Amino acid sequence: MPRKGLRGELEELLGTPHQVVLSVGAVTVTPLKFGDLPELLRCLDAWHSEPPTPEGDLRLLALTTGCEADFLTTLSDADLEALLTASKTVNPSLYREAPGAALARRPSAPGGVDAAVCLLIESGHTLAAVKDYTLAQIERLSLAHARLAAERRIDELMIARAAQADGKGFKHTVASLQREVAKLGGKG
């Protein structure tokens, strides 16, 4: 279940782990980091290319929850479902479309992962820092940077338009003064 409201937005932006209580005790599910994407994509490729197996499902759940696969094998179906729900809570970017679809876009696709990372780096983030961002952080930060860049561009266009208007106004004022000087018998 996605996080809701201001608290949920802040938890998502800050990459806050989610505590889930299972029959065997409490477990903290941590968000997937950008640096984990290659492993996730390998895991998804294997998961899609082979007949579904419990091991493949556990490996995918282990990766998206931060729990060890051996630990997951000891859990009941209800506990596994609770972990999957927690994974959806801390990794909303993975579950907005069909699993992995958002991440499997071609790198050159507009709005793809490479564009988001490039925008963050252009905005002053280092690649080393970006590797430790959660997927939700990358999504939110890149959207925020894009929005700010668009707002700056609009401001620049407004300033340019105002300068054009001021230039016309200045020319009009100079012409008016020259006419007045000519009326007074001076040179114009």
- Strand-pairing partners, residue 100, are none
**Residues 112-126 pLDDT 10s:** 788 888 889 988 999
**Which of 21, 29, 37 lies closest to 3 in space, CA to CA?**
29
Is it the case that residue 105 has pLDDT exceeding 50? no
Give which of 92, 184, 101, 76 is closest to 138, Cα–Cα: 92
The pTM score is 0.64
Q: If you search the block for the tokens 């903290």, which residue do you land on?
A: 28
Q: How many other CB atoms are there within 10 angstroms of residue 132's CB atom?
A: 13
Residue with tokens 């894009």: 146
CB atoms within 10 A of CB 34: 20
**φ, ψ for residue 112, nearest 5 deg:** -75, 180
Residue with tokens 């782990």: 17
